[in-house]
Amino acid sequence: MSKKIKQRVFVGLSGGVDSSVSAAILKEREFDVIGAFIKVWTPPGLPCPWREDRRDAMRVAASLKIPFVTIDLEKEYKKEIIDYMISEYKAGRTPNPDMMCNKRIKFGAFLKKAVDSGASFVATGHYARIKNGNDGKYKLLKGVDGNKDQSYFLAMLNQSQLSKIIFPVGGYTKPQVRKKAVKYKLPTALKKDSQGLCFVGEVDMKDFLKNFIKPKQGKVLSEKGSVIGGHDGVPFLTIGQRHGFRLFDKDASRKPHYVIKKDIKTNTITVSEKPLQSEFAGKNVSLGNINWCSENAPAIGAKNIYSCVIRYRGDEIKCFIDKINDKKNTAEIIMKKSQYSISGGQFMAIYKNDECLGGGAIL
């Protein structure tokens, strides 16, 4: 009787507990598991714990007795993520590097290298699920742990990608994953979760951006248009931000003021004591760079109610899709309730119950 050939899967080992448990689960399911650490671009002189993370990933691979490889994607990361971030900030928009990293790096360049190396799948420690529906389409579903669900960051994935991805911990809660890590005796069982983007580390985003965007003194305006302060450049500020600029009136400075408008051409910002007054405030949102995970657009019209999310762990807002322009790859979304502190460049994900249908960038 011939021996069953195991399906090969490359697991993106980040050095954290979620990806470690993912590798352990897949080995238990008798996959041919390869542990892979993705080396991304890091700017010279800024702290990033990638060496420590890689060492932890190697320890996990050794503990599980699986092969370990390092995949160098520095060039791809610099081009697809860093350059995208800088261009968006320069244009006065607010990028989402995590969203693009999943689309272009983890399930783009990494997936390609894995498949080229004989893998049938790649896996990560994302809290999300993938289901093959009755229609033959792969559906992206929320993770069962509502506090950790990461489907929002995966809204730009397509059918080709979803068909080759496994999310082993998507059906578990974080406490359950921790227990599994102890059960498998993984060296990362008690490691704290990482926060933010690796290349930024503990450095303030503004300090990071100053390496690429030259500060330029600009004016802070009141809602009436009066000059009431100064700032170091529009690209360093986001809608809703309440710091990063200076007010001339010391008494006024004691009260919180929020950025409600940015003008990249004049290098001015408008602030208000009312955070709800934003240039993007309202119920209507235009999306560009649209992606539908099923590759088929959802039904439009007020009778077809969905929910949308405009930031990670943000509230779900009831909405419907008013128009879709296939030629321009845009969509008009109408929300049931006005939202505030929205910035151009942010991504909106659209859901039907637990299924993430896709989304796009706010124009």
Query: Looking at residue 48, what is its pLDDT?
Result: 76
SS3 246: strand
DSSP 57: H
pLDDT band at 204 (very low <50, low <70, confident <90, very high): confident
Q: Report how far residue 225's alpha carbon sits from residue 149's, in angstroms, rounded to the nearest whole number.
A: 42
Least confident of 12-21, 29-38, 341-350: 341-350
Going by DSSP bridges, is the β-strand pair 245-247/227-231 parallel, antiparallel, or unpaired?
Answer: antiparallel
Which tops the pLDDT comparison, 276 or 356? 356
Architecture of domain 8-125+168-183: 3-Layer(aba) Sandwich (3.40)
Handedness of CA 155, 158, 163, 165 (dihedral sign): negative
Residue 293 designated active-site:
no
- Please give the pLDDT value at position 30: 96
pTM of the entire structure? 0.92
Are the CB atoms for 115 and 93 separated by under 8 Å?
no
144 secondary structure, DSSP code: S
CA atoms within 13 A on the CB side of 343: 23
- The domain limits of the chain are 8-125+168-183, 214-272, 282-362
Residues 38/151, Cβ–Cβ less than 8 Å: no
* Lowest-confidence region among 89-93, 195-199, 232-236, 242-246: 195-199
Kindly report the number of other CB atoms within 10 A of residue 208's CB atom: 19
Backbone φ and ψ of 307, nearest 5°:
-130, 150
3-state secondary structure of 330: strand
Residue tagged 């994302």 (tokens): 126
Assign 293 a pLDDT band (cuts: 50, 70, 90). Answer: very high
**DSSP tally for the chain: helices H, then strands E:** 10, 18
Of residues 345 and 195, more confidence is placed in: 345
Of residues 43 and 260, more confidence is placed in 260
Relative to beta strand 282-292, strand 330-339 is antiparallel
Give the per-residue pLDDT at 194: 72
Task: Work out the number of other CB atoms within 10 angstroms of the CB of residue 250.
Answer: 7
The whole-number average pLDDT for the span 34-43 is 92
Highest mean pLDDT among 133-147, 163-177, 265-279: 163-177
CA–CA separation, 67 and 71 (whole Å): 13
Token pair in block for residue 321: 């899709």
β-pairing, 355-362 vs 347-352, is: antiparallel
User: Measured at the alpha carbon of residue 158, what is the angle toward residues 156 and 159, in degrees to the nearest 5?
Assistant: 155
pLDDT at 336 over 90: yes
Number of other CB atoms surrounding residue 196 within 10 Å: 11
Query: What are the pLDDT digits (tens) for 103-139?
Result: 999 999 999 999 999 999 999 999 999 999 788 899 9
Lowest mean pLDDT among 40-49, 166-175, 254-263, 303-312: 40-49
Instruction: State the chain's mean pLDDT as an integer.
Output: 92
Please say whether the structural domain 214-272 has been given the CATH code 3.40.50.720.
no
Catalytic residue status for 356: no
Instruction: Give me 31's structure tokens.
Output: 């996959």
User: Bridge partners of 69?
Assistant: 36
Residues 41-82 pLDDT 10s: 987 777 778 899 999 999 999 999 999 999 999 999 999 999
Of 101, 308, 319, 356, the catalytic one is: 101
Cα–Cα separations (whole angstroms), residue 188 to 97, 217, 226, 302 = 26, 46, 55, 48
Does the pLDDT of residue 199 top 70, yes or no?
no
**What is residue 280's predicted lDDT score, i.e. its pLDDT?**
61
Superfamily of domain 282-362: Translation factors (2.40.30.10)
Query: In the prediction, which pLDDT does 38 show?
Result: 96
Q: What percentage of the chain carries pLDDT values higher than 90?
A: 80
Contacts of the segment 177-180: beta carbons below 8 A, 24+ positions apart: 177/17, 177/18, 177/21, 178/17, 180/21, 180/24, 180/25
For the residues of 7-55, what is the DSSP string, one character each?
PEEEEE--SSHHHHHHHHHHHHTT-EEEEEEEE----TTS--THHHHHH
